[in-house]
Structure 1
Amino acid sequence: MSDELDIDQLSPTERSALETHTAVTGQEPAEAIALLRRSQWNVQIAIAKFFDGEGPDPLEEAREALQSPPVRPARRTQNLMSDDLTEHFSPAARSADPAPRVDTQPEDQPSYRPPLIIALLFTPFNLVYRLLYSSFRLFGSLFPFLPRLFNATANPALQGARLNTTGRRPLGPKDTAARFIREFEEEYGSHSVPFLENGYNMALEKSHRDLNFMLIVLLAPEHDDTSGWVRDTLLAPEVVEFINDPQNNLLVWGGNVQDSEAYQVANSLKCTKFPFAAVIVHTPNVSSTAMSVVGRIAGTTSPSEFVTRLRTTITTNQEPLERIRATRSEQQASRSLREQQDSAYERSLAIDRERARQRREAEAARQREEQEAADRQAAEEKKLRDLAQWKQWRAQSLGAEPDIDVKDAVRISVRLPSGERIMRRFAPDANIEELYAVVECYEVLQDESRPTDVTKPEDFEHQYGFRLVSPMPRAVYAVEEGGTIRDKIGRGGNLLVEPIEEEEEEEEEDEEEGEKVATSS
Structure 2
Amino acid sequence: MDLDSLTPVQRGALEQLQALTNGGDPEVAIGVLSSVDWDVQRAAEVVFDGVPPAHTSQPLPEASRIEEFEVDDSEQGLLSGRRSGREFRPVESNSLSAIVARPIRVVFNILAIPLYPLLSLLRFIFRALRLPVPNFAPFTFSTLSYRPLGPGAGREAKDPKSVAERWVLALEEETGAVCISRSGRRRTDASGSSVATGVAGPSTLTARGSAWDGSVGEGDMKLLPDFFLGSYEEFARTCQKDMKIGCIVIVSEEHDDVAEFKRSTLTDPTFVRIIQENDILVWGGDIRDREAWSAAQKLQATTYPFVAFIALQPRRAPASAEPPAPTMTILSRHQGPSIPSTSAPTAAQTLVKHLTEQLLPRVNPVLDKLRSQEAERERERALRAEQDRAFEESRRRDAERALQRAQQERAAAEEKKRAAEAEARRAAERRKAEEAKKLWEAHRMSWRRWIRRGLVVREPRPGEAVRGKTMRVGIRMPDGRRVVRFFGENDTVTALYAYVDSLFIPPEYVQDADPVSPPEGGSAGEDGLAGEMQKSGKSVDKWWGFKIVLAYPRKEIEWVPEKRIGDIDALKGGAQVVVEPVADEDGAQGKAKASAEDADDDEYHTESE
TM range (shorter): 0.3 to 0.5
Q: Which protein has the bigger helix share?
A: 1
Give the greater-gyration-radius structure (CA). Answer: 2
Q: TM-score, normalised by structure 1?
A: 0.47
Q: Which has the higher contact order (CA 8 A, sep 6+)?
A: 1
Q: TM-score, normalised by structure 2?
A: 0.41
